[in-house]
Amino acid sequence: DILERLKNGEIDILVGTHSLIQPDVEFKQLGFVVADEQHRFGVEQRRKLIEKGDKVDFLLMTATPIPRTLANTLYGDMDITTIETMPAGRKEVKTVLVQENSFRHVLDEVVSKIEEGRQVYVVCSAIEESESINVRNVLTIYDNLKKAFKGIAKVGVLHGKMSSEEKEEIMREFDKNEIQILVSTTVIEVGVNVVNATLMIIYDAHRFGLSQLHQLRGRVQRGSEQGICYLLTDSQDENSLERLRVLVNTNNGFEISAEDLRLRGPGDILGTRQSGLPAFLLGNLVEDTKIIETTKKDCLEILQHAEEKENSQLIQKIVQLNMNALTTMD
């Protein structure tokens, strides 16, 4: 019914998940797309949304832009509006890096929060035990915490393999404080608003992206009470630890994204990779913004005088070299 009404122009505003990308979703005259939590969409997915209309305006919203998007803003291919302030009464999340992948370091803090009547998230990168990777998993941690906190707090579990009904029931119980400790995968990353949950423990923190960690810790700063996020890791890799220290030192999403860009690279501006080193021989995308700005002006000058032989040959050559990638541009 919704698809039919949408096609006929009887629906003016449609709100949906990634299901909007599906081929059978047809708009009569799509003019504007808003993608909230932009980092959850791939390049091709964003392209498919835009192609559902003619000359569609596109607004991307995110607390932490992925490296590729930040690079696009530096190149001047994307207008940007920054909201610098937090909602009234909110405090910044306090983030603590623990170089030990063990619950014992945070046990006293968890008990203290529960005694205060607060709630806790415990986040793992895997649902169940695996022979291929050595990480803490949701099911094992859930069983361990259920035994450890028996008679003290109720422990719940949440992950992507559960049915929608099961997930909704668990979140309802957590929202009503019937569950005090929620062991979960990253399914809580967006769209979860439990003001009473003010403590988060993230196992194997080095396995998550900076943007993802920033989004996750935002779950424990939904009210005026101080939120605390513990990043647990046993990684000895200095690059991984350097990334995690970025989160300890700042709560600014753009600073985090800029550091992510410096460490991971911007991916393909003409292409679909959303991170990774660009094909520059000498340039540095973060440090060389002045020459990038000058280059942009030179490019516009060439395009505005495309009829000149030298410019025309250069444009044709660039188009020829990037033909496959041009269709993926934002």
Q: Specify whether 78 is located in the same domain as 21.
A: yes
Q: What is the pLDDT of residue 38?
A: 73
CA 121 and chain centroid, separation = 18
Range of the domain at 51: 2-83+279-326
Long-range contacts: 233-237, Cβ < 8 Å, 24+?
A: 233/97, 233/98, 233/99, 233/100, 233/101, 233/204, 233/205, 233/206, 234/99, 234/100, 234/101, 235/206, 237/206
Q: pLDDT tens across 140-194, in order?
A: 999 999 999 999 999 999 998 999 899 999 999 999 999 999 999 999 877 788 9
Query: With contact defined as beta carbons under 8 Å apart, do 274 and 43 qualify?
Result: yes
Same domain, 117 and 212: yes
- The alpha carbon of residue 91 and the mean position of all alpha carbons in its chain are separated, in whole angstroms, by 21
Place of tokens 């080193």: 277
Helix (H, G, I), strand (E, B) or coil at 254: helix
Asked if residue 199 and residue 123 are part of one domain, the reply reads: yes
Are 105 and 181 members of one domain? yes
Residue 267 lies in a domain: no
pLDDT tier for residue 68 given thresholds of 50, 70 and 90: low
Is 244 found in the same domain as 100?
Answer: yes
- Based on the domain organization, do 124 and 208 belong to the same domain? yes
Question: Three-class SS of residue 129?
Answer: coil
In the chain, the amino acid numbered 133 is: I
> How many folded domains does the chain comprise?
2
Count the Cβ atoms, other than its own, within 10 Å of residue 127.
Answer: 17
Q: What is Dmax (Cα atoms) for the chain?
A: 81
Asked if 118 and 12 sit in the same domain, the reply is no
pLDDT score for 266: 52
Asked if residue 76 lies in contact with residue 300, where contact means CB atoms within 8 angstroms, the answer is: no
Over 80: is that where the pLDDT of 260 sits?
A: no
Residue reference for tokens 């985090």? 256
The verdict on residue 269 lying in a domain is no
Going by their DSSP bridges, the two strands 197-202 and 228-232 should be labelled as parallel
**144, 178: one domain:** yes
Shared domain check, 221 and 173: yes
Amino acid, res. 311: N
Looking at the domain assignment, is residue 259 inside a domain? no
140 and 226 housed in the same domain: yes
At 81, the pLDDT band (50, 70, 90 cuts) reads: confident
Kindly state whether residue 60 falls inside one of the protein's structural domains.
yes
Distances (CA, A) of 314 to 68, 152, 320, 323, 328: 25, 71, 10, 14, 21
Output the average pLDDT for the chain. 84
Given this model, what pLDDT does residue 65 score?
63
pLDDT of 270 higher than 50: no
Q: Mark which of 203, 234, 250 sits at the end of a domain.
A: 250
Minimum mean pLDDT range among 7-11, 181-185, 318-322: 318-322
Task: Kindly report whether the global pTM for this prediction surpasses the value 0.75.
Answer: no
Let me know whether 161 and 113 are in one domain. Answer: yes
Q: Of 250, 265, 299, which residue sits at a domain end?
A: 250
The verdict on residue 155 lying in a domain is yes
The answer to whether residue 226 scores a pLDDT higher than 50 is yes
CATH number at residue 133: 3.40.50.300
3-state secondary structure of 185: coil
Q: Residue 307 pLDDT > 70, yes or no?
A: yes
| Statement to judge: residues 114 and 181 lie in one domain | yes
